[in-house]
Every structure is written in C-alpha cells, then in structure tokens.
C-alpha cells in the first residue's frame, strides 16, 4: 500500500499572533511553525500501516523553503520520502489543486489529510482533492482499518459516530481519534539523522487560481473584567448571573 500524507505548516498554538500591512497579512516574525495537529494524527496512523502492513509513506506540503524543517520532522518520524510544492499556499482550492497534481499518476492507494488546518480552519482541502481526483472520501475520520483493497472508516457525525466501508483509492480527512495524543511520536536522534539522507523532492506548482482572498484579519476582543464570588455566597452568584450576566 502506498500512502500520501498531506502536511500543513502552521503556527504553534502558543505563538503570539500579530498582523501587518493594515491587518491584511499574518506576521511570521518570531513564530514557531509545526506540523498541523490534525495532519500529525494522520501521519502517525500512516506509520502504523507502515509498521504493521509494510506500507510506503510519503508526505507532501505546499510552501517555500521555510517549510522544510517541518517536513523534515515528518521524515524523522518515519516517512520514507517528502515532496515540497514550491508555492505559497494562498487558499484551500489552490493547495488542493497542487496536492491533487502530485497524486495523479503516482499510484497512491490512500491519501490522508487533516480535516482542517488550525490556522485558517477552512476544512476544504481533503474534500476538494477527492473531487478533483474522483476518489472516495471520508471526512472527520476517527478510525481507519484497511484489509486488502477495502477500508473501514469511522467518522464523527452530529450526536454520534458512523462506520463506513469504501474501496481504495481513498481520501481521508482525519483528526484526533485516528490515533490518540499519547500515540504521537517525537523524533529520536536516529530518526533525525536518517531524515537527512531521505529524499525531499521540490516540484514546481501547476497553474491554478486562488478562489478566495484574505481582506482583513481581526483579533478577538480582549477578555473583560472578572468578578470573584465567595463560594458560600450562592445568593450573590445567582443575582449576578440574573441581573448582570443575564444567563438565567
């Protein structure tokens, strides 16, 4: 089985976020970038297929040279080969179009992408890829088993879970549940050294439009003042909730 894991290069959740050019561009100064968490769950599941079923695992991302440390981490975790599409990721359609071009004629049986990235939260890429490639697609996937050419996937739905069966090739929009956080892997020294010897292919992008434009970014409003109420003073708490917070 040949697997492609799509990696997004996103700011660490502890980063301080700022914008430039009249709040129209994200300021990357001093920001640490990491593998998108939803993608990391997918990568870890792909490594399970590699170890248990002998799968070959490739990773791909869209970005300039600055994303290479992130994709090298994926190689250090255990991916066999990496692909960097040499373009700035402008929107979900553009990214999906570039990744779909990599998949075409490459013989991938399974494409795993995160259901969304934690920076723009668009949730578009895996679904658009599946449409462009005319492949089966399961989103919000929290469980995946493959036997032969058949996949059994579990996905989250409103109020519960749904179990589906689909034939390969298949596109997955994954999230926590494909593996648990305790299963995520930290590259060891041997993996880091081996990653330096693994192939990282740089390919040029295909011509594709960006269908959305970021007009302006706005930070959430700062938190308001907090009132502390003595735990024994239930009456005051009820009065504040009723008269000030107006939630009861």
Q: What is the pLDDT of residue 105?
A: 83
Q: Residue ranges per domain, the chain?
A: 2-219
pLDDT tens-place string over residues 76-110: 999 999 999 999 998 999 999 999 999 998 999 99
- Is the dihedral angle over the CA atoms 138, 142, 147, 152 positive or is it negative? negative
Q: Are 172 and 38 in contact (CB under 8 A)?
A: no
pLDDT over threshold 90, residue 246: no
Q: What is the pLDDT of residue 167?
A: 95
CATH 3.40.50.1820 corresponds to the domain 2-219: no
**Which secondary-structure segment (H or E) carries 53?**
helix 37-53
Q: What angle do CA 71, 37, 111 make, to 5 degrees?
A: 65
Q: What angle do CA 39, 197, 72 make, to 5 degrees?
A: 25
- pTM, entire model: 0.86
Q: Which residues make beta-bridge pairs with 153?
A: 144, 164
Q: What is the pLDDT of residue 67?
A: 93
Q: What is the pLDDT of residue 224?
A: 80
pLDDT tens-place string over residues 19-57: 999 888 888 888 889 999 999 999 999 999 999 999 999
pLDDT tens-place string over residues 145-204: 999 999 999 999 998 999 999 999 999 999 999 999 888 988 888 888 888 889 899 999
């Amino acid at each position: 089985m040949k697997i492609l894991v799509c990696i997004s290069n996103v700011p660490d959740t502890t980063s301080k976020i700022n914008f430039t050019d009249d709040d129209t561009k994200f300021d990357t100064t001093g920001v640490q970038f990491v593998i998108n968490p939803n993608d990391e769950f997918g990568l870890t599941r792909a490594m399970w297929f590699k170890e248990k079923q002998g799968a070959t695992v490739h990773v791909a991302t869209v970005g300039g040279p600055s994303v290479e440390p992130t994709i090298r981490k994926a190689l250090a975790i255990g991916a066999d080969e990496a692909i960097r599409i040499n373009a700035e990721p402008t929107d979900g359609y553009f990214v999906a179009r570039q990744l779909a071009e990599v998949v075409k004629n490459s013989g991938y049986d399974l494409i795993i992408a995160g259901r969304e990235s934690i920076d723009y939260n668009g949730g578009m890429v895996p679904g658009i890829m599946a449409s462009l490639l005319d492949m089966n697609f399961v989103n919000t996937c929290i469980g995946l088993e493959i036997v032969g050419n058949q996949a059994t996937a579990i996905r989250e739905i409103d109020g519960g879970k749904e179990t589906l069966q689909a034939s390969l090739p298949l596109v997955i929009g994954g999230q926590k549940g494909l593996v648990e956080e305790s299963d995520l892997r930290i590259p060891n020294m041997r993996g880091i050294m081996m990653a330096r010897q693994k192939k990282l292919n740089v390919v040029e992008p295909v011509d594709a439009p960006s269908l959305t434009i970021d007009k302006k970014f706005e930070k959430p409003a700062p938190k308001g003042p907090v009132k502390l109420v003595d735990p024994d003073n239930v009456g005051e708490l009820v009065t504040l909730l009723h008269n000030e917070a107006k939630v009861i």
